[in-house]
Amino acid sequence: MFKTEIKQASSSECKLIFVKVPDGLTGLSVDSRDCVVRGRFNGKIWTSEKIPQSIYVFHGYSHELSAEAIDVLFASESEFYQLCNYHEILYNYSAYTGKWAVLSVVN
């Protein structure tokens, strides 16, 4: 069974939540009311463990963030890589360990 991991982090630009989701997850959505991330996995609805209560925006997965998204969420690409390394978040795609959804906290 896949185990969700949730990591809170802060860049110099914003507060972030990284949620580890199954590799095959599609149609990811953030349910701020129930404090979970949902999507389709193996033909069924998959739901993460609870994330801290707040309102979030999903920006993509760590392994495929665009340069524009990195510019919005971080002071530089270097900060993105440093933050990921510090929190042990794989920013490159791994078909064996899951992928990381990147969420920012809306103030």
Tens-digit pLDDT profile for residues 10-39: 999 999 999 999 988 999 999 999 999 999
Q: Is residue 2 part of a domain?
A: no
DSSP at 52: P
Containing domain of residue 100, as a range?
A: 7-106
Q: What predicted TM-score, i.e. pTM, was given to this entire model?
A: 0.91
Q: Is residue 32 part of a domain?
A: yes
Asked if 82 and 71 touch (Cβ cutoff 8 Å), the reply is: no
Tens-digit pLDDT profile for residues 45-73: 999 999 999 999 999 999 999 999 999 99
Q: What angle do CA 97, 18, 20 make, to 5 degrees?
A: 25
Task: Report the number of distinct structural domains present in the chain.
Answer: 1
Q: Is residue 1 part of a domain?
A: no
Q: Is residue 64 part of a domain?
A: yes
Q: Is residue 23 part of a domain?
A: yes
